[in-house]
Structure 1
Amino acid sequence: MGTPRNIPHHTVVVIGSGFGGTMSALSLAREFKERQRGTVLMLERGTWWTTPVGTVQDREVETYDLLAKKGQPVQFWSSAENFRGFIDIYTRCFRRRSNEDGLYDLVTFGERGLLGMRQNDGVSIVRASGVGGGSLVYSNVTIRPPDFVFDDDRWPTETDWDGVKREEYFQLARDAIGLSVLHALEKRATEHAGATPPPPPPPNPINTGLRNIVTRSAGADPGFRTPPTHPGLKQLDPSRYPDPTAERRADDLWIDRARIFQLHMSKLTSDYGTVDSSINDKPIGDDGKPKNYCERQGRCNVGCLPGARHTLNKQLMTAIHGTPRHPGGDLEGVLDLWPLCEAHLVHARPEGGYEVEYLERDANAPWRTSTRRVSADQVILAAGCVGTTELLLRCKERETLPNLSPALGEGFSTNGDYLAFLDDTDFRVSLTRGPVTTSVAHFNTPEADPTSDVSKFHTIEDQGIPRALASLVGQGVPLLQSLSTGQRKPLFTALAILRYALGRPRAYARALFRNYQARQPQFASEDEHVMDMMCIAAQGREASVGRFRLGRGPRETPLRVERKGGGSFEDDPIYAEIRATLARFAEQLTGDRGGTFRNPFLTPAAELAGARSIGLTHPLGGCRMGRDASQGVVDEFGHVFDASKTGGEPFYEGLHVADAAVIPTALGVNPSLTIAALALRLSDRMIADLPSS
């Protein structure tokens, strides 16, 4: 296949801008800038997103104007903190037909019926669609998996992935997320230079570093303890709670949710503590300049209005376009990003290299598309577990990459994801306050019990609720069930919202005439609606035996998924372990009343609507690592196998995968740090393999 001269060409094209894509693109662009040759292009199917309110570092909201003047499609986070906010999020920010520039892409799998899903494959996945990928919607949690996860034989890491090297890459990933990729790479380079005395660290990181946020305001001392059996953990000390006679109680300044979670988890496991959050909580940076910092608004998953989260769009904007105060990117001319461009096929060229066929959307009418192509010497697929796997399955079916591994689509894992709510707790939990996740508890770890069965390892985290969604508690639960059935056409959405709204005027009319006697519940704030509710997010070592395939026919979804050997994903043994732990936690929070954590995706109402499924945000696998093409789609460095080749280099030369799709097992923790570490390792190998001239 020849290449028409009007097709633009880049050294590397990166598909996707999440953790894998951003780590890879910035690493390679930095190298190309130093070598003064080579360019990197990123293709992102979504738009830019930013805050509509002034922040410490952008008082006049000039970021929006900077991007708009550069011709970049950009949208504001939803900012209303009530039911109006929910309507804004659902109608504008959810990706669906005629709103393809929405951020939240709720993907269901199965066979469609007339009014929704007739047959659900048992999995529903929330994906992000925007510059920065999953970093725009994740819970800011950066957790390293335990070493025993990597002892699984399905990890084909046989070269330099031992404990020491692994920790080096995880530390590099912490710096890349918590400070910035370019800062982290410069820091590593200066440390390896061996100069005496060592040069000062590189200046001007984007962020102020990972933080442990459990107090009501920045700068307050939480009074952590660090137990000798768990080095590095920062915990609430239960021996100091409650102690009304103490001059300084450990919990006085703590966010309610963090205090309640850690206090009661301490009775179930010793392996609990505060998460490393990728959020600024340091109002003054090391350079002495004011920085955006966490204001405890509890809305991390729907957009950080103070601009404190370490979302990757900040790093990409600074590298490509600069900032309002410092226009002009550090990598301008070397790195570029095209938003609203969704990769459709990757074509291998007979003469070497690739052409990426993509759909370019009209920014003013995103349902309108034009098919275009760009060529590259090398391509990195980083569209996420679902996006990358679907793209390669399509390439194999259309024979644009005909020799992909027969293992393509296999090894899908839910990562043990599980979301659950507990009503009517004995304590004020205050779900809307603080960062969305503050604390974590691990179960079945050697640190907690040397006799533990590590195959049952799982993690429980607290999960906050944004005020816009807290407004739905009560009558809003049926609304959420209506909207999660897989049928999201405007008419059905309008009817669901109307059904919810019609019950409100009558209740408010009654409350208006009764409020003088006693305050009516209709006038309670969103904070009060969820004051005595605990929400958790869990992950665990699920079996990783799912398999993706392309849908067939008009009634099937574009991608289908099934569990090897049949059965339901929710029948995996790890979910019994998680539910057992939650039952003990519920007993701690509700006492003799016997409260139960409930998963909204697994209710009878969800089943009746054809929407019963494991709801997840951390899908893994589909293009898993393997030692050869019979076992996996890529090797340990993300090189894509060519099943027709043998010998020492049996790959599609220059074709790589750098996202969650390559992870061969469940991690049992949030995967962002692992994805970043693997992508940085892949980038190092790509740079090492570049020709010297």
Structure 2
Amino acid sequence: MTTADRHASATAPQEHGHGFDYDYLIVGSGFGGSVCAHRLTEKGYRVAVMEQGKRWTPDNMPRSNWRLRRWLWRPMLGLRGFFTMSFFRHVIVLHGNAVGGGSITYAQTLLVPPARIWDNGQWAGLNDWHAVMPEHYATAQRMLGVTTNRIIAPADDALKRMAEVAGCEDTWYPTEVGIFFGPEGESGTPAAGSTHPDPYFAGEGPERKSCIGCGGCMMGCRHGAKNTLDRNYLYLAEKHGAKVHAETKVIDVVPLNGKADGADGYVVTTVPSTFAGLYLGRGKRTFTCQSIVFAGSSLGTQELLFRLKDKGSLPNLSDALGKRMRTNAESLISCRMPGSRDDMSKGIAIGSGIHIDEHTHIEATRYPAGSDFMGLLFTAMARGKPSWTRPFSWLKAMAKVVAANPRRALKFQLPWGFAKETIIFLCMQTAEGHLDMTLKRLWYWPFRKALVTEGKRIPTFIPEANDFVTRGAEAIGAIPGSSIPEILFNIPTTAHCMGGAAMAASPEDGVCDGQNRVFHYRNMLICDSSMLAANLGVNPSLTITALAEHAMSHIPRKE
């Protein structure tokens, strides 16, 4: 038996007593949590899923991101949407929370990362990943309904033209996505948007509507075409008995009967995710479970585990908690075409991508017409290395834009019309780079500890990507742009926060082992993006799903 096995939790307790409320309690309903809920109910376990976000349907999705109350998640301010921006010293993290986790607001791009990622980071050598993972990727692709994008829209054509200028047009590809396009040939015809019987699970799943290419994927699909988790994994889990507690936040997890390693199970305390619950502690409930799965996203799981370790509820969690949080070394860059006759909002959220070199991957991203809020975050591209001089580079760039055409410059800077006129380029790299997270009191708010970032700054400026967009913008008649936080504060923005409770061979290097079992505890797993141990260089959702499938494959059926 390895050191990891001696310290890791057992995933299948010898006995499941009838005194527990649930066999497994899952914290979070995202890609890891929904997979676990489905596979555990399949195996006969009684499962509960605690989700702090709301349950959304096509009927109650916001029509645009100007409807902040139904888009942004800030309960203290009365904002109860599904999209969150978390601000740290080193990074701004964009993420979602809802029944179905980030799948409600993600761009449903589901890519297999380069094979070399398994040879990097703390998980290298834990398994023969190259042999093991293809099967789980295939299962994840089938369950999530992965298919090749069929709607090539103006933004995708523009990316192809830019790639030709850069000499990398042979790397352009339509994305692999989790969208129902209907029968072959239906996309782009009057029949798009038609209702069809469940096309994925032999009638076990919900009926679906085919994609109309409105570009609204990241605003929550109001047409029922996006393969969100509440239409596959979580839908099937609930159908077979899993209980989802929406708008419920876990605040404490304590081993039962004084068994420090959790051998006798856990008592879990929750509050409603309302102002009264989150900030006044009202509405507390307790549940008992034999086993627990943390699946609340990288930030959510790190913060919860830090608080549990800090208060003494789970004091033996590894000191590697919070170490090596990764962001895919991302940068957001834009091209805006004020007055363009081509509607850049059409298509699907991320319809195509390119590789400008072996480490740098760029995707063409869009919001639906009218969802112009993100236009507040972009301005003229500032060249030069990140430093105190970069704002001056921006002033120079903005002056050139104004001098060239003052009216066009004004329209470029104002947010209205942003979605129809703009391509947002999501630039990602596999290059190593990470931050550390910890829990500490802030000097300006010492009343409560908060999750903060530490360490060296990660890159905010990707020269190769900036050069690509600058040259390509000229070819398509656009004005290149950078994000304002990157220019003014040297802070990058990422939608892919990974690691912080990563897989490793020992608790000195990670928080869980190669089967997702938490070191020093029994009956406890981590199955979300916090388990990832390397920069993937692509959107991580498919890998999270595949690794959760791998973890569940080691749990036997309930006897």
Structure 1 and Structure 2 fold alike (TM over 0.5)? yes
1:102 aligns with 2:81: yes
Cα distance change, pair 426–339 in 1 and its aligned pair in 2 (3 A): closer
Partner of 1:555: 445
Partner of 2:318: 405
Q: What secondary structure, in the 3-state scheme, does the structure 1 residue paired with 2:480 have?
A: coil
Q: What secondary structure, in the 3-state scheme, does the structure 2 residue paired with 1:403 have?
A: coil
- For residues 546 and 660 of structure 1, the distance between their equivalents in structure 2, rounded to whole angstroms, comes to 15
| Structure 2 letter corresponding to 1:78 | P
Partner of 2:117: 149
- For residues 237 and 555 of structure 2, the distance between their equivalents in structure 1, rounded to whole angstroms, comes to 22
Provide Cα deviations, 1:632-667, integer angstroms capped at 9, x if missing partner: 11111111111xxxxxxxxx1111000000111111
Q: What secondary structure, in the 3-state scheme, does the structure 1 residue paired with 2:56 have?
A: strand
Cα distance change, pair 154–272 in 1 and its aligned pair in 2 (3 A): farther
Provide Cα deviations, 1:5-32, integer angstroms capped at 9, x if missing partner: 9996210000000000001110011111
1:375 equivalent among 259, 276, 288: 288
Partner of 1:683: 552
Partner of 2:491: 613
Partner of 2:481: 597
Partner of 1:77: 61
Provide Cα deviations, 1:529-564, integer angstroms capped at 9, x if missing partner: 555533211221243431111121562685343343
Offset of 1:469 from its aligned partner?
A: 2.3
Cα distance change, pair 665–127 in 1 and its aligned pair in 2 (3 A): same
Q: What secondary structure, in the 3-state scheme, does the structure 2 residue paired with 1:77 have?
A: coil
- The answer to which of 285-294 and 97-106 deviates more is 285-294
- The answer to which of 670-679 and 122-131 deviates more is 122-131
Are the counterparts in 2 of residues 45 and 130 from structure 1 also a CA contact under 8 Å? Answer: yes
- For residues 146 and 123 of structure 1, the distance between their equivalents in structure 2, rounded to whole angstroms, comes to 25
Q: What secondary structure, in the 3-state scheme, does the structure 2 residue paired with 1:21 have?
A: helix
Partner of 1:347: 254
Cα distance change, pair 265–359 in 1 and its aligned pair in 2 (3 A): same
1:301 aligns with 2:180: no
Cα distance change, pair 558–262 in 1 and its aligned pair in 2 (3 A): farther
- For residues 179 and 92 of structure 2, the distance between their equivalents in structure 1, rounded to whole angstroms, comes to 28
Provide Cα deviations, 1:416-447, integer angstroms capped at 9, x if missing partner: 222111234898652210111100112433xx
Partner of 1:66: none
Are the counterparts in 2 of residues 11 and 378 from structure 1 also a CA contact under 8 Å? Answer: yes
- For residues 555 and 466 of structure 2, the distance between their equivalents in structure 1, rounded to whole angstroms, comes to 44
Are the counterparts in 2 of residues 546 and 563 from structure 1 also a CA contact under 8 Å? Answer: yes
Partner of 1:673: 542
| Map 1:254-653 → 2, pairs under 5 A | 254-266=152-164, 267-269=166-168, 270-283=170-183, 284=196, 291-315=208-232, 318-319=235-236, 329=239, 331-332=240-241, 335-349=242-256, 350-351=258-259, 352-361=264-273, 369-424=282-337, 430-445=343-358, 457-470=359-372, 532-553=421-442, 555=445, 558-564=449-455, 566=456, 568-570=457-459, 575-576=461-462, 579-591=463-475, 595-604=479-488, 607=489, 613-642=491-520, 652-653=521-522
Q: What is the aligned length? A: 482
Provide Cα deviations, 1:468-507, integer angstroms capped at 9, x if missing partner: 323785xx5699xxxxxxxxxxxxxxxxxxxxxxxxxxxx
Cα distance change, pair 316–336 in 1 and its aligned pair in 2 (3 A): farther
- For residues 52 and 373 of structure 2, the distance between their equivalents in structure 1, rounded to whole angstroms, comes to 31
Partner of 1:28: 40
Q: What secondary structure, in the 3-state scheme, does the structure 1 residue paired with 2:178 have?
A: coil
- The answer to which of 363-372 and 535-544 deviates more is 363-372
Offset of 1:348 from its aligned partner?
A: 1.8
**If you compute each CA radius of gyration, which structure gives the higher value, 1 or 2?**
1
Partner of 2:406: none
Cα distance change, pair 366–302 in 1 and its aligned pair in 2 (3 A): farther
Partner of 2:384: none
TM-score, length-scaled by structure 1: 0.64
Cα distance change, pair 527–293 in 1 and its aligned pair in 2 (3 A): farther
- For residues 374 and 117 of structure 2, the distance between their equivalents in structure 1, rounded to whole angstroms, comes to 38
| Structure 1 letter corresponding to 2:178 | S
Q: What secondary structure, in the 3-state scheme, does the structure 2 residue paired with 1:355 have?
A: strand
| Structure 2 letter corresponding to 1:24 | C
Structure 2: which 5+ runs fail to align? 1-16, 184-195, 380-409
Are the counterparts in 2 of residues 156 and 636 from structure 1 also a CA contact under 8 Å? Answer: no
- For residues 281 and 364 of structure 1, the distance between their equivalents in structure 2, rounded to whole angstroms, comes to 42
- For residues 355 and 299 of structure 2, the distance between their equivalents in structure 1, rounded to whole angstroms, comes to 27
Offset of 1:584 from its aligned partner?
A: 2.4
Cα distance change, pair 472–442 in 1 and its aligned pair in 2 (3 A): closer
- For residues 292 and 528 of structure 1, the distance between their equivalents in structure 2, rounded to whole angstroms, comes to 28
Cα distance change, pair 589–166 in 1 and its aligned pair in 2 (3 A): same
| Structure 1 letter corresponding to 2:426 | A
- For residues 51 and 79 of structure 2, the distance between their equivalents in structure 1, rounded to whole angstroms, comes to 12
| Structure 1 letter corresponding to 2:181 | D
Provide Cα deviations, 1:208-258, integer angstroms capped at 9, x if missing partner: xx232243xxxxxxxxxxxxxxxxxxxxxxxxxxxxxxxxxxxxxx42111
Offset of 1:94 from its aligned partner?
A: 1.4
Offset of 1:675 from its aligned partner?
A: 0.3
Q: What secondary structure, in the 3-state scheme, does the structure 1 residue paired with 2:39 have?
A: helix
- For residues 351 and 153 of structure 2, the distance between their equivalents in structure 1, rounded to whole angstroms, comes to 9
- For residues 340 and 8 of structure 1, the distance between their equivalents in structure 2, rounded to whole angstroms, comes to 22
Are the counterparts in 2 of residues 214 and 434 from structure 1 also a CA contact under 8 Å? Answer: no
Cα distance change, pair 292–318 in 1 and its aligned pair in 2 (3 A): same
Q: What secondary structure, in the 3-state scheme, does the structure 2 residue paired with 1:378 have?
A: strand
Are the counterparts in 1 of residues 335 and 481 from structure 2 also a CA contact under 8 Å? Answer: yes
- For residues 86 and 412 of structure 1, the distance between their equivalents in structure 2, rounded to whole angstroms, comes to 29
Q: What secondary structure, in the 3-state scheme, does the structure 1 residue paired with 2:111 have?
A: coil
| Structure 2 letter corresponding to 1:559 | A
| Structure 1 letter corresponding to 2:480 | T
| Structure 2 letter corresponding to 1:18 | G
Partner of 2:58: 51
TM-score, length-scaled by structure 2: 0.79
Structure 1: which 5+ runs fail to align? 33-37, 53-75, 80-84, 110-120, 179-209, 216-253, 322-328, 446-456, 480-520, 643-651
1:9 aligns with 2:36: no
Are the counterparts in 2 of residues 100 and 366 from structure 1 also a CA contact under 8 Å? Answer: no
- For residues 341 and 631 of structure 1, the distance between their equivalents in structure 2, rounded to whole angstroms, comes to 32
Cα distance change, pair 591–685 in 1 and its aligned pair in 2 (3 A): same
| Map 1:185-200 → 2, pairs under 5 A | none
| Structure 2 letter corresponding to 1:93 | W
| Structure 1 letter corresponding to 2:103 | S
Alpha-carbon RMSD = 3.2
- For residues 534 and 150 of structure 1, the distance between their equivalents in structure 2, rounded to whole angstroms, comes to 32
Partner of 1:172: 139
- For residues 108 and 663 of structure 1, the distance between their equivalents in structure 2, rounded to whole angstroms, comes to 21
- For residues 283 and 147 of structure 2, the distance between their equivalents in structure 1, rounded to whole angstroms, comes to 44
| Structure 2 letter corresponding to 1:344 | I
Are the counterparts in 1 of residues 378 and 481 from structure 2 also a CA contact under 8 Å? Answer: no
